[in-house]
Structure 1
Amino acid sequence: MGMSEKYAHLRPSTRPFADEDAASRIRRIRTDRWIGYARAEAVLAALEDLLSFPKRLRMPNLLLVGPTNNGKTMIVEKFRRTHLAAGGEPAEGPALIPVLKVQMPSGPDEGRFFGAILDALGMPFGARDRIAAKQDAAVRLMRATKVQLLVIDELHNLLSGTALQQRRLLNVLRWLGNELQIPLVGVGTAEALRAIRSDEQLANRFEPWPLPLWTDDKEYRRLLTTLEAVLPLRKPSHLTDPAMAARILSAAEGVLGEVIAIVIRAAVKAVETGVETISPRMIEGAGFIRPSERRRVAI
């Protein structure tokens, strides 16, 4: 029988890998991959819109809000990689960075925030440099590298500062957007939304895009179908069977990153044991601690 009937449960591009040995298939299973789903594609489209928005005094912003490990960073990373300077390196002068991604430092103040920007631009700075100097350097470099959109990940870290630091940082965000006339994309938990809403002018500019926990619906079943089709197991696993789907979702507590981690761990086991299909028992026995229990242990 031909390859196509043999591995009908796999995507055509994945089928050739199913004949590889166990070690290389396990490596493939564990490699990070982009798993597209409707909500993620919608956010990517919204980010594309922002990127091509004509410069004006008040640029629109976007706030990607959701629980930890629910796919936020994965989406902005995908977007950033899509826009790595497409035109190749310019002959001289700085490289172009259309999408700049920084992390809001914890215990944040303006100096640390501009430090994080300089860091992301590959420009180390002295810890003792004055804030004004860092601010100048950050803005100058962002102009030179033609940053068109700034992503601020872990925006909820803003709340770990004092009330005064929070006010000042929110002012800095507003100022930066106006000064460079670029859209800002905030990424964080529901706390981030609270931080932005405490500043009336910013609240009007940031459009919230929630990435809620997953429930057992069509969209979730489609996600499982996609996962099953890209993992090179030789036999189908029927992840969308109601009992199986429910078991995965409950172990993952509705968190996207956990759904993917559980399925990947079980797939590795399926290859190691030679069973070549994910059984409900493997989901339970994937050496998996639920996110809530893990948080309890951490505390």
Structure 2
Amino acid sequence: MNQFPHLHEATAQMLEASLPEKLEFVRSNHLFGYPAYDHILRDLQDLVAFPRSLKPECRAVIADSDNGKTTLTRQFIANNPIVLDEAGYPITKVLWVETPASADERRLYSAILSALNVTHRPDAPPARLEALAHEELAVQRTSVLVLDELHAMLNSPARQQKQFMASLKRLSNMRQLSIVACGTVDVSRALAIDTQFVSRFTRLALPRWQADESFLKLLASFERLMPLARPSNLTAPKMALEVFKSCDGTIGSVRKITLQAVERVLKDGGERVTFEIMQGACQSYTRSRLVTAPRPS
């Protein structure tokens, strides 16, 4: 029986660990409670099982920077690991690719081939790379292609953007491939370049946090990952409001604040995060934002 009901069992086991082990635990653990997160994961998983069609369903995952998009896509990939068939060949049902910094179809195909672990010449003619990408996607039975930071292609001239999106649509059509386009709100602008292709995409958003029940659940989930013997009561109104006022409404900012607070407690040999410690972490985070924020033009 868990003697520390405010902690996950795995967290409770860390109470007897050394300080370096505790710090590694809190820094590496990314579990959090996010209703939209779970909904999107289920929706993406459905794409993997959908029967293939000539115009496969696609998704656009939209999130502000530091609001859980990377964690979500990593979890999606982890839920669909590469497996080997009877002959020992890889089956990659879900493939993650970082969108090239420019709308270059050669670089797109090269990125896909690299993700599939296929040896190729990046400077080969685009047609050759395209044919090889189509062949390998078929061989590895890929059904979902996750393109991270798709909005990056908007840095290129309009003509290249159109060619890039045409290549992506052709890839989706010929391989009956569901595309998951991830990025900021600018992803919608990138997809709109092809008015026919964009109609296949359902928008899935990870909105900024509000001062509501979901935010309290988020704080509670973080507390369950803090290897501290006594409850910190992060969901207490005064504590929760202090964190909310200082964060950017993103999960990354909440994590940075709570991580700074729990690290201080661990290093000081304490047993819980007090309001004063949390207030100090919030103030430190606010100062760091002022230092790193771009100057107004």
Could you tell me the TM-score, scaled by structure 1's length?
A: 0.92
State the shift of 1:38 in Å. Answer: 1.0
Q: Is the 8 A contact 1:61 1:185 kept in 2?
A: yes
Summarize the alignment of residues 131-142 of structure 1 with structure 2, pairs less than 5 Å apart.
131-142=126-137
The one-letter code sitting in structure 2 at the alignment partner of 1:21 is: S
Identify the match of residue 259 of structure 1 among 241, 251, 254.
254
Query: CA separation in 1, counterparts of 2:214 and 2:262?
Result: 21
With over 3 angstroms needed to count, the CA separation of the structure-2 counterparts of 1:4 and 1:187, relative to structure 1, is: same
Match of 2:209 in 1: 214
The answer for unaligned runs of 5 or more in structure 1 is none
State the shift of 1:21 in Å. Answer: 2.6
Summarize the alignment of residues 1-299 of structure 1 with structure 2, pairs less than 5 Å apart.
4-5=2-3, 7-85=4-82, 88-90=83-85, 92=87, 94-286=89-281, 287-288=284-285, 289=287, 291=289, 293-296=291-294
Deviation string for 1:49-98 (max 9, x for gaps)?
A: 1111111111110000010111111111101111103xx42354531111
Q: Is the 8 A contact 1:10 1:228 kept in 2?
A: yes
The one-letter code sitting in structure 2 at the alignment partner of 1:98 is: K
State the shift of 1:277 in Å. Answer: 1.5
Deviation string for 1:96-119 (max 9, x for gaps)?
A: 111100011112310111111111
Q: Is the 8 A contact 2:31 2:221 kept in 1?
A: no
Task: Name the SS of the counterpart of 2:234 in structure 1.
Answer: coil
Deviation string for 1:24-44 (max 9, x for gaps)?
A: 211211113332421111001
RMSD: 2.0
The one-letter code sitting in structure 2 at the alignment partner of 1:205 is: R
Deviation string for 1:202-252 (max 9, x for gaps)?
A: 221100011111111101100111110122111111111122212222322
Moved more, 273-282 or 46-55: 273-282
The answer for unaligned runs of 5 or more in structure 2 is none
Q: Is the 8 A contact 2:29 2:225 kept in 1?
A: no
Query: CA separation in 2, counterparts of 1:91 and 1:176?
Result: 27
State the shift of 1:19 in Å. Answer: 2.5
The one-letter code sitting in structure 1 at the alignment partner of 2:124 is: D
Query: CA separation in 1, counterparts of 2:193 and 2:292?
Result: 31
State the shift of 1:20 in Å. Answer: 2.1
Q: Identical aligned pairs, as a percentage?
A: 28
With over 3 angstroms needed to count, the CA separation of the structure-2 counterparts of 1:144 and 1:93, relative to structure 1, is: farther
